Amino acid sequence: MTILIAPDSFKDCLPAIDVTRALCNGIKSVKKNIKVILFPMADGGEGTTEILNYHTSGRWQMIEVHDPLFRKIKSRYLILNDRNTAVIELAKASGLELLKSIERNPLHTGTLGTGELLRNALDQGMDEVILTVGGSATVDGGTGIASALGFRFYDEKDREFLPTGGTLSKIHRVDTSHLHNRFKHVRWTIASDVQNYLNGAEGAARVYGPQKGADAVAVEQLTEGLEHLTKIIKNDASFDPDKHPGTGAAGGAALFLMAYGNAKLQSGFSVLAELTQFQSAIDEATLVISGEGRLDAQTKYGKVISSIAHLVNKKNIPFIVVCGIVSDDPAAIQAALGIDFLYSIRSSADSDTDSFKNAGKYLEKIGAEIAKKHLFN
């Protein structure tokens, strides 16, 4: 029997690598000789580059960039050793977790730091740049990224400025004559499972603005700004964001890469699965364990568990999911994803605080329980 353990991170609690190891320790405490494949996964959100480095042993490129509020910070991106490819995680320069709660307001934040990471990758001569866009603090339509790559923005008095989410409506024209000389000579890939368009009721401002700290007034200002930016890009690049699903991801962070650089949007999980050869692990497994921090109705929409469920169900082998907490109907989620057995930390913990503080201990216990109940040889 070969057990594949492939969870996502338990957000704000444990990284995927630690979740994987804890479950393995629990299994091995009962079944010492069972074969276990440790395969932490991600879908393009926070921690994606660490997961890739775990599997591929790339090399880190460290540089100084600007955070979402334009303060200088140290950041990094991953260069894959077996191909001339950079993998850049937006969250490492423009992520919500870089800000204190009181600082979170997408009217004032921008993606300049992510653009600086991208520009450095171009300077390094990369042939392909993969941008993962989960966890952003921004709704700036990717203008910060664009600025770092050579786009220039001017107001109605022809004064150059760096837009933020709150000043998009001030953009009068965009100058593309100073683009990085390699901008159009690399293959751009955007790793995201978000299918929202830039504008509309399900657009970047209305759906994701409140998650990044925007109140009702700010959401309306962001909405107007993105609609204004859309008109400019439609006229300048003949690109309509609202005919391209996914342009709303991370507050439109990839907008200029898609409109001017022919960037392709791909499922975050699919990108990682290809780079890590995840299918080979699935082919070897006779039982698969996955998991995430919160299991809810959204889990079936493109997250790690749902993507793995699709592969496991095609192979018709047992599928076990371990989570921190189940916040919706467990039976409905199990049926929708073809989960054979479901375990949660919260069902055993004394409180939410206990489940977070002692998550590793509970995961080991769950691993041991799985070994006792489901592993027979």
Domain 48-266 CATH (choose: 3.40.50.2000, 3.40.50.720, 3.90.1510.10, 3.40.50.12160): 3.90.1510.10
Q: Which range, of 53-62, 182-191, 302-311, averages the lowest pLDDT?
A: 302-311
Give the mean pLDDT of 32-58. Answer: 91
- What does the pLDDT average to over 208-219? 96
Q: Is the pTM of this model over 0.85?
A: yes
Tokens 């990369």 correspond to 126
Q: What 3-state DSSP class applies to 172? A: coil
- Across residues 154-176, what is the average pLDDT? 97
pLDDT for 294: 87
- CATH number, domain 2-41+277-374: 3.40.50.10350
Asked whether the predicted pLDDT for residue 329 surpasses 90, the reply is no
Q: What are phi and psi of 358, to 5 degrees?
A: -115, 30
C-alpha 76, offset from chain centre: 16
Phi, psi torsion values for 214, nearest 5 degrees: -85, 130
Q: Which two tokens stand for residue 97?
A: 């977790």
Residue 154 tokens, joined = 């001017």
Average pLDDT (272-277) is 94
Q: Please report, for residues 53, 226, 265, the alpha-carbon distance to residue 155 in angstroms, rounded to integers and kept in the order given.
A: 42, 15, 30
Question: What does the pLDDT average to over 123-150?
Answer: 96
State the pLDDT at residue 327. 80
Q: Give dist(CA 222, CA 220) in Å, integer.
A: 5
Tens digit of pLDDT for each residue in 72-97?
999 999 999 878 999 999 999 999 99
CA-to-CA dists, residue 372 to 48, 56, 155, 302, 369, angstroms: 32, 33, 67, 31, 5
The domain locations on the chain are 2-41+277-374, 48-266
Give the torsion sign (CA, 306, 312, 317, 323).
negative
Q: What is the pLDDT of residue 22?
A: 96
Phi and psi angles of residue 92, each rounded to the nearest 5 degrees, phi first: -75, -15
Q: Mark 170-182 as b/e (b = at least 16 C-beta within 10 Å).
A: bbeebeeeebbeb
pLDDT digit string, tens, across residues 101-116: 999 999 999 999 999 9
Average pLDDT, integer, range 276-289: 96
Of the candidates 121, 119, 99, the one whose C-alpha atom is nearest the C-alpha of residue 108 is 99
Measure CA of the first residue to CA of the last residue in the chain; give whole Å. Answer: 6
Residue 195: predicted pLDDT: 87
- Mean pLDDT value across the chain: 93
Residue located via tokens 């692990």: 281
Reported as a pLDDT band with limits 50, 70 and 90, residue 300 is low
SS3 sequence of 9-77: CECCCECHHHHHHHHHHHHHHHCCCCEEEECCCCCCCCCHHHHHHHHHCCEEEEEEEECCCCCEEEEEE
Q: Assess whether pLDDT exceeds 80 at residue 355.
A: yes
Supply the pLDDT for residue 190.
96
Cα gap 244→33, rounded to integer Å: 50
What DSSP string runs through 112-164?
HHHHHHHHHHHHTT-SEEEEE-TTB---STTHHHHHHTT-EEE-TT--B----
**Mean per-residue pLDDT for 225-243?**
97
pLDDT surpassing 60 at residue 377: no
In the DSSP assignment, the letter for residue 322 is E
Give residue 123's region: left, alpha or beta (phi > 0; psi -120 to 50): alpha
Q: What is the pLDDT of residue 376?
A: 65
pLDDT score of 134: 87
Residue 129 has pLDDT above 80, yes or no: yes
